[in-house]
Amino acid sequence: MAALFSRGNPIHVKPLNNSNAMEQIRLDAQLDDIQNTLYILVILQIFLNHQFSGQINPRGFIMSLFTVLQQPIENLSKAEQTFLDFLARNFQEIPFLSATDIASQLQLNSSGLTRFAQRLGYEGYPALQRQARQEMKHQLALNVPIEKNGLQGYWKHEIRNLEELAQQATALPEATQMLVEAQRVWITGAQVSMSFAYSVAHFLGGLRSDVHLLTPEITHRPDILLDAKQGDVVLAFTVRRYATATRQIVEQLLERGAVLLLITDMGMSPLVRHAKLTIRVPTKGVVPFDSISPVLSLAHALVISCAQAIGTQRLEQSEQLWQEFATFEL
């Protein structure tokens, strides 16, 4: 740091003409103020580095953990390079993976991960993990300011998202097969994702039996989850910000043998690592809200695909019952 800004080495400038001595004095004073300010900034930078165990780049400024992991690091051992590659590729999973989890996946010793974290400037892996969690929270936070004339770009965002979704929907046949062949289908979502879950449960329940909608209120009757077993599929919808209730429900079902079909956004859902199949949906929207149209579109496409595979016999029988009970006005 001293090499960058040293109070013992004042900044020199070329003197002005003697006839302009007052201007020279004023300029020297300004430069001295600048130098003092830079010195204070360096001290502050050192303090922040100590407080948050961040990394300092060659220019003396703290880099995010995400940025650090994307940079080449010299003289790494083979194990350290393996840890670096894994953390860089799976940054969004760091807050949810213990050192033992990572070491087990890589077939390495967890103490090696601790030493690697220390080499990056952290006290250990837990400190590195906390930093990753903070950066994720920052990334997932909503942008409060609303763009001026944001509606001008709204339809462009929607069309672009749907076009991108159409190109990525190659997993739809596999997802359909999972829902068609499952013994039971458990469908869940919270917050805005509850609307996606309700829509699929409503239509899929008209096509096949044993479709169960699980809302966050299930915590008042958690014993319902005891019916889950091997051969079941849980269809979970989760988009930022990811609801804790959804994760808890899914984990309980997985413990009882169900497998996870996950529909999420392009972000950092903690459920990705548990999923047998994940379908990611582009949700970029006009600030401050993400777009939900692509998720609803995918949900509807999934139901249509299931109808083509199962047939509409049950739906036709349901229609007869609706007429007998006069369920609808028309």
Q: Which residue has the tokens 């149209």?
A: 293
Per-range mean pLDDT, top range of 144-153, 159-168, 304-313: 304-313
Tell me: pLDDT of 110 over 90.
yes
Would you place residue 31 in the very low, low, confident or very high pLDDT band (cuts 50, 70, 90)? low
Q: Is the pLDDT score of 20 beyond 80? A: no
Both tokens of residue 124? 């250990």
Question: Considering the domain boundaries, does residue 86 fall inside one?
Answer: yes
Q: How many CA atoms lie within 13 A of 127 on its CB side?
A: 17
46 within some domain: no
Q: Which two tokens stand for residue 258?
A: 């169900």
The answer to whether 247 and 198 are in contact (CB under 8 A) is no
Residues 200 and 297 both lie in one domain: yes
Question: What is the model's pLDDT at position 189?
Answer: 96
226 and 261 in a single domain? The answer is: yes
Domain check: are 205 and 250 in the same one?
Answer: yes
Say how many C-beta atoms besides its own lie within 10 A of residue 274's C-beta: 18
Whether residue 166 is found in the same domain as residue 302: yes
Please state, for a pLDDT cut of 70, what percent of the chain lies above it. 76
| Residue 131's CATH number | 1.10.10.10
CATH code, domain carrying 258:
3.40.50.10490
What is the token pair recorded at 214?
């699980």
Cβ atoms 253, 227 nearer than 8 A: no
User: Given 3-state DSSP classes, what are the helix, strand and coil percentages for the chain, each rounded to the nearest 5?
Assistant: 60, 10, 35
Domain termination residue (choose one: 77, 107, 139): 139
Residue 215 belongs to a domain: yes
- In this structure, of 125-129, 145-149, 210-214, 299-303, the range with the lowest mean pLDDT score is 145-149
149 vs 53, higher pLDDT: 149
Same domain, 260 and 180: yes
3-state secondary structure (DSSP) of residue 218: helix
**Res 60: pLDDT:** 38
pLDDT in tens, 61-107: 456 787 788 778 888 999 999 999 889 877 877 888 899 989 998 99
Give, for 63, the enclosing helix (H) or strand (E).
strand 62-63
Range with the lowest mean pLDDT among 22-31, 68-77, 269-278, 297-306?
Answer: 22-31
Residue 161 sits in the same domain as residue 265: yes
| 239-248 mean pLDDT | 88
pLDDT of residue 13: 44
Domain C-terminal end among 139, 173, 192:
139
| The model's pTM | 0.63
Name the burial class of residue 11, with classes exposed (0-12), middle (13-18) and buried (19+) by CB atoms within 10 angstroms of its CB.
exposed
Residue 3's Cα: distance from chain center in Å? 39
Q: Are residues 198 and 303 in the same domain?
A: yes
Phi, psi of 252 (to 5 degrees): -65, -40
Q: Mean of the pLDDT values across residues 289-294?
A: 88
171 occurs within a structural domain: yes
133 and 162 in a single domain? The answer is no
Bin 53: left if φ > 0, else alpha if -120 < ψ < 50, else beta. Answer: left
Do 246 and 277 share a structural domain?
yes
Residues 299 and 166 grouped into a single domain: yes
pLDDT band at 122 (very low <50, low <70, confident <90, very high): very high
177 vs 170, higher pLDDT: 177
Which whole number is the average pLDDT over 8-16? 46
Question: Is 96 within the bounds of a domain?
Answer: yes
H or E element at residue 110: helix 110-119
pLDDT grade for 169, boundaries at 50, 70 and 90: confident
Residue 57 inside a domain? The answer is no
The answer to whether residue 70 is domain-embedded is: yes
In a domain, 183, yes or no: yes
**Kind and range of the H or E run holding 55:** strand 55-56
Residue 239's domain spans which residues?
157-324
- Are both 75 and 214 inside the same structural domain? no
Residue 143 pLDDT exceeds 50? no
Total number of domains in the chain: 2
How much is the average pLDDT of 202-208?
Answer: 95
Among residues 83, 112, 139, the one where a domain terminates is 139
Q: pLDDT higher for 138 or 244?
A: 244
Mean pLDDT of the chain: 81
Verify that 311 and 176 share a domain, yes or no.
yes
Give dist(CA 272, CA 261) in Å, integer: 10
With bands split at pLDDT 50, 70 and 90, how would you rate the model's confidence at 181? very high
